[in-house]
Chains A and B, each alone.
Chain A
């Protein structure tokens, strides 16, 4: 029998100990399997849906919440995902007070360069599973080019990519 409060706290803990994406997976996996509230196939389905569904990839745990505890589970896991991001507000408030000091400004520039590196790194990590053939590389190159020209709305670019997938792989 699932206890709503404990269910929520498990999801909240996982979200507090991770930085988005699948970072909360190990915690949820350990806790929910131990309690017998979720089974392995629930995780596989939730991860697959999370890759397809819109929005941040961290939303995969909403899918897991639904699979294990229906609509209340989806709602509780959404709330658990919304709480930790608020910790950014005090950090930014603190940072704004020291920003403008020359030393902080250089530090900040280093942070930004590092953040761009992380973004490229994310693309690198993703490409390990996503780029399985030459066509995938072509799609990467063409979409990057189309996005840089800023002529097409992003949804059109994604739809064209979906269409390309259908034409190439069926």
Chain B
């Protein structure tokens, strides 16, 4: 019998609350999932980021994949079911109800004005999240020398630009970034040993 790290109820309730309050699209949802994972100590930052990177490489909604992975890690298959149900049920229900009521609210100036406040806020949340996720990686890169720090920062920026300006496919961008970083390890030898045990 494996030892489960989190109760099913807590998994469901946490994702349910995330599904209810993440107004303004996926970026707010992602921010909330990251915050919950950090608050409950669900998975190390590096693992979280690795899941997110891998989630970009298979089809479908990325946040649903994160939710499946976190739920399964915390409580096996039942945990997976609790997490995804918690995330999707309230959001899907509210989306449907809002569609049904859309004709009533769509031209209310108040609703439009509120949305004009919320949408830039989700961009602000995304910037904060990028910083939270990127900082630990940049700190590690700095420990490996200035060249590595520049390379890491350059990779982040080039990926962002390729995606925004060239509309390159996320899968291609990620594979390029992985390959470049892998090649660079051969060129700039890190001062730190690369043995995973030394990372802990």
Contacts and interface: CB of A to CB of B under 8 A. Distances in A.
A139 B25 contact: no
A118 B56 contact: yes
A150 to B, nearest CB: 8
A102 B141 CA distance: 15
Given A58-B61, A62-B96, A111-B54, A136 B88 contact: no
Interface residues of A, number: 98
A121 B161 contact: yes
* B interface, over-half SS: helix
Given A52-B98, A58-B26, A71-B96, 13 more contacts: A52-B115, A55-B90, A88-B65, A105-B196, A112-B52, A113-B156, A114-B173, A114-B178, A118-B170, A121-B160, A157-B125, A165-B118, A168-B117
Q: Most chain-B CB neighbours within 10 Å: which of A53, A54, A130, A162?
A: A54
Interface of A: 15-21, 45-46, 48-60, 62-63, 66-67, 71, 74, 78, 81-89, 91-92, 95, 99-100, 102-103, 105-127, 130-132, 136-137, 139-148, 150, 154-155, 157-158, 160-166, 168-170
B143 interface: no
Q: Most chain-B CB neighbours within 10 Å: which of A74, A124, A162?
A: A162
Interface size class of B (residues with CB under 8 A): 35 or more
Contact of B32 (A17, A145, A154): A154
A166 B114 CA distance: 5
Contacts of A19: 56, 59-60, 62, 170-171
Contact of A110 (B26, B180, B195): B180
A154 B87 CA distance: 16
A127 to B, nearest CB: 6
Contact of A165 (B23, B117, B133, B161): B117
Interface in B84-140: 84, 87-88, 90-92, 94-96, 98-100, 102, 106, 109-134, 137, 140
B118 A162 contact: yes
